[in-house]
Amino acid sequence: MIYPRISIIILNWNGWKDTIECLESFQRIIYPNYQVIVVDNGSIDDSVEKIKEWARGNIHVKSRFFNYDSSTKPVQWIEYDRVTAEVGGIPRKEAELTQLSSNRKIVLIQAGKNLGFAGGNNVAIRYVLKRNYSYIGLLNNDTIVDSNYLTLIISTLKEDSQWTACSPKILFKGNPSRIWYVGAKIRMYKGGGIHIGQGEQDNTELNGIEMTTCLSGCAFIAKRVLFEKVGLLDEDFFFAHEDTHLFYQAGKQGMLFCVNLDAKIYHKAGGSVGQSPKAFYFDHKGRMIFIAKNGRHIDKLIFWSFWILTRLISFTLLIFKRKGNLIKAELRALHDFLTKRWGEYDRKRENFRNQNDNTSRK
């Protein structure tokens, strides 16, 4: 049986504890031909060294989803800076890595600074496109994967050629019986994608293959043609809605996407993205950028009419909840959108620094 080569890109930013739990879950994957690529987005919490310590077998991972297995250590790694990675790495190192089993090796790329979700992943996507991989996967570092999720998704993509990309069912890590993602619809009046059934109870009827309008950057696997024809993630977004933009553009080219509801992963997502000013800012600015790039004149008219009409209610509720800082964040998003301060602009603002925010993952 032929097993196509799969690359799985995991972006880390000051989140090594989540990352090594995700990496540990990958050591139980039954699919035999994958390569995990970890991109560190300029962490300041010693993440890179912690990941190496895990690989050496010096950090034991505790998880409700599995028991730690010391027999799979050490894990070998090759390490690149951004420039070396983006030209495809070093052939000698790559050749050495191919001799190892998939669960005993990782590629570690240091981006050098926080490039955001789009920019950080793009470093690894450029690396992968220079290598001989048939499929490219993105995966949040705060996820846990089932051992058969790769097998199921690759089978879907191989057996039905109409699909360009596929996602697993994504459940809440803290409450595995609740749905985080089983598909999404693009709603122009809201400037982005809306998850179907988020927060609802998972059930046995949610199985099989379902077509969807767009996939979440949290977890998907795509044929390399997606990035070769559509391009990389748009770094104007920095964080939030770059995934929706990618799949919207791909859909316009006739590409189709699906969710394999039998393949499961678990996502740490803690609820609404609007619970911190920084995330709130990027979410709303991302929606404005999305509609500016993708909307027709009528779509833009409806989007901005909806935005204006709903601000009175939204801002009143936020004032009642004593979250005036979120109002300021949304107004700043509007200002920066209108003045073309897109991309990473707001990350540099002193009054938006918050070590608890993670604008490197979905």
Q: By C-alpha distance, which of 213, 178, 183 is closest to 195?
A: 183
Residue 349 has pLDDT above 60, yes or no: no
In this predicted structure, what is the pLDDT of residue 355?
42
Strand partners, 138: 9, 220
- How far is 166 from 156, CA to CA, in rounded Å? 8
Binned at pLDDT 50, 70 and 90, residue 352 comes out as very low
Residue 271 has pLDDT above 90, yes or no: no
- How far is 298 from 220, CA to CA, in rounded Å? 31
Angle at 147 between CA 145 and CA 149, to 5 degrees: 65
Strand partners, 193: 186
Binned at pLDDT 50, 70 and 90, residue 237 comes out as very high
Binned at pLDDT 50, 70 and 90, residue 343 comes out as confident
Angle at 101 between CA 99 and CA 107, to 5 degrees: 80
- How far is 291 from 271, CA to CA, in rounded Å? 24
Helix, strand, or coil (residue 169) = strand
Contact, 30 vs 17, CB < 8 A? no
Mean per-residue pLDDT, 22-43:
97
Contact, 172 vs 269, CB < 8 A? yes
Binned at pLDDT 50, 70 and 90, residue 272 comes out as very low
Helix, strand, or coil (residue 90) = coil
For the chain, the residue count is: 362
In this predicted structure, what is the pLDDT of residue 265?
98
What's this model's pTM, rounded to 2 decimal places?
A: 0.93
Burial of 256 per CB tally in 10 Å (0-12, 13-18, 19+): middle
Alpha helices in the chain (DSSP H): 16-26, 47-56, 82-86, 91-97, 116-129, 149-159, 225-230, 242-252, 277-294, 297-320, 324-338
Place of tokens 């290598």: 131
* Residue 323, both tokens: 């979250």
Residue predicted with more confidence, 94 or 357? 94
Q: Are strands 143-145 and 256-267 parallel, antiparallel or unpaired?
A: antiparallel
Binned at pLDDT 50, 70 and 90, residue 30 comes out as very high
How many alpha carbons lie under 13 Å from residue 137 in its C-beta half-sphere? 27
- How far is 359 from 118, CA to CA, in rounded Å? 10
Give the start-to-end residue ranges of the domains of the chain: 6-267, 273-352
Mean per-residue pLDDT, 138-142:
97
- How far is 174 from 15, CA to CA, in rounded Å? 17
Q: By C-alpha distance, which of 117, 116, 162, 157 is closest to 136?
A: 157
In this predicted structure, what is the pLDDT of residue 22?
98
In this predicted structure, what is the pLDDT of residue 78?
97
In this predicted structure, what is the pLDDT of residue 248?
98
Contact, 268 vs 260, CB < 8 A? no
* Residue 244, both tokens: 């929706």
In this predicted structure, what is the pLDDT of residue 346?
52
- The CATH homologous superfamily of the domain defined by 6-267: Spore Coat Polysaccharide Biosynthesis Protein SpsA; Chain A (3.90.550.10)
Place of tokens 């936020």: 318
Binned at pLDDT 50, 70 and 90, residue 360 comes out as low
Residue 358 has pLDDT above 70, yes or no: no
- How far is 161 from 60, CA to CA, in rounded Å? 41
In this predicted structure, what is the pLDDT of residue 2?
85
Q: Residue 67: what residue type?
A: N
- % residues pLDDT > 70 (the chain): 93
